[in-house]
């Protein structure tokens, strides 16, 4: 079983230097029973005070190591800005930037090469769930990365984020999430059985202070990827506190 829960904040295109100050101050009161990751817009990364209380991550990474790719950020640049994690394949990037599974695989390879831990985001749309295709969709998203590169699994975090639950206020129920997390772990075991036991599988989709506790009691939920509620420092702290075993 993964050692500690990981609570990750995805600020998306939000945040400010003022928010950094509030959040980083609050997090100093948290002890080390939970791992915390903040993924702000990349321009804010360098403004976080150096502290042992949380890790930093970017929200996207280029599939290239360097070169003439205007507007892109390489793994090396992200690392130099102070991050040690990076999100890959968030549904908003799959949807608004037409990111394919192949592209996401290349981004994960770049992340690992640069020494960053990729957080691979996967999940089904509402239509796919209604058609009972959830497992098929997720299996395909995982296979696109780990079937050809099983060695990347031990270096990854997975975030199960049903698209219908992101930013909608409608979280998956703890039982629904657990069922899918258990499926994800079984699938991953086909690529690397040892890594599958230890890989952290986060749940994301309308997590808040009121619903997180029930999610965290599920056997295969190893933390959360939190969007909207991560912009409210007091609520985000409550979520982190709930994740202590």
Integer Cα distance of 26 and 46 in angstroms = 18
Contact between 59 and ligand PEP by CB under 6 A: the answer reads no
64 is catalytic: no
Contact 234, 26 (CB under 8 A): yes
Residue 173, helix vs strand vs coil: coil
90 is catalytic: yes
Convert residues 1-40 into a mask of x (bound to ligand PEP by CB under 6 A) and - (unbound): ---------x-x----------------------------
Contact 106, 143 (CB under 8 A): no
**At its nearest, how many Å lie between ligand PEP and the CB of residue 126?**
14
Integer Cα distance of 238 and 97 in angstroms = 33
**At its nearest, how many Å lie between ligand PEP and the CB of residue 20?**
19
Contact between 199 and ligand PEP by CB under 6 A: the answer reads no
Contact 11, 38 (CB under 8 A): yes
Segment near ligand PEP (CB under 6 A); pick from 27-35, 42-50, 97-105, 220-228: 220-228
Segment near ligand PEP (CB under 6 A); pick from 27-35, 50-58, 181-189, 223-231: 223-231
Q: What is 79-140 written as a DSSP string?
A: HHTT-SEEEES-HHHHHHS---HHHHHHHHHHHHHTTPEEEEEE---HHHHHTT-HHHHHHH
Contact 22, 40 (CB under 8 A): no
Residue 38, helix vs strand vs coil: strand
**At its nearest, how many Å lie between ligand PEP and the CB of residue 230?**
7
Convert residues 141-180 into a mask of x (bound to ligand PEP by CB under 6 A) and - (unbound): --------------------x----xx-------------
Nearest to 215 by CA among 173, 159, 168: 173
Contact between 118 and ligand PEP by CB under 6 A: the answer reads no
Contact between 225 and ligand PEP by CB under 6 A: the answer reads yes
State the catalytic residue, choosing from 90, 99, 124, 128.
90
Segment near ligand PEP (CB under 6 A); pick from 30-38, 70-78, 148-156, 224-232: 224-232
**Residue numbers of the site for ligand PEP (CB under 6 A)?**
10, 12, 161, 166-167, 204-207, 225-229
């Amino acid at each position: 079983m993964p050692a500690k829960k990981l609570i990750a904040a995805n600020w998306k295109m939000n945040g400010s230097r003022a928010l950094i100050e509030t959040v980083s101050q609050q997090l100093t009161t948290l002890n080390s029973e939970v791992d915390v990751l903040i993924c702000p817009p990349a321009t804010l990364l360098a403004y976080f005070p150096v502290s042992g209380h949380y890790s930093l991550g970017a929200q996207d990474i280029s599939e290239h190591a360097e070169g003439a790719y205007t507007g892109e950020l390489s793994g090396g640049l992200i690392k130099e800005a102070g991050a040690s994690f990076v999100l890959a394949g968030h549904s908003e990037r799959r949807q608004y930037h037409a990111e394919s599974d192949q592209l996401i695989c290349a981004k994960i390879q770049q992340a690992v090469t640069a020494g960053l831990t990729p957080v691979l985001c996967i999940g089904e749309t509402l239509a796919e769930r209604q058609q009972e295709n959830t497992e098929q969709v997720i299996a395909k998203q995982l296979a696109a990365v780990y079937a050809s590169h099983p060695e990347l699994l031990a270096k990854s975090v997975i975030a199960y984020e049903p698209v219908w639950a992101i930013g909608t206020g409608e979280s998956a129920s703890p039982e629904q999430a657990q069922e899918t997390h258990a499926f994800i772990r079984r699938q991953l075991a086909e690529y690397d059985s040892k890594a599958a036991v230890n890989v952290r599988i986060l749940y994301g989709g309308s997590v808040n202070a009121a619903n997180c506790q029930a999610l965290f009691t599920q056997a295969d939920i190893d933390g959360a990827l939190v969007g909207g509620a991560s912009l409210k420092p007091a609520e985000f702290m409550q979520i982190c506190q709930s994740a202590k075993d």
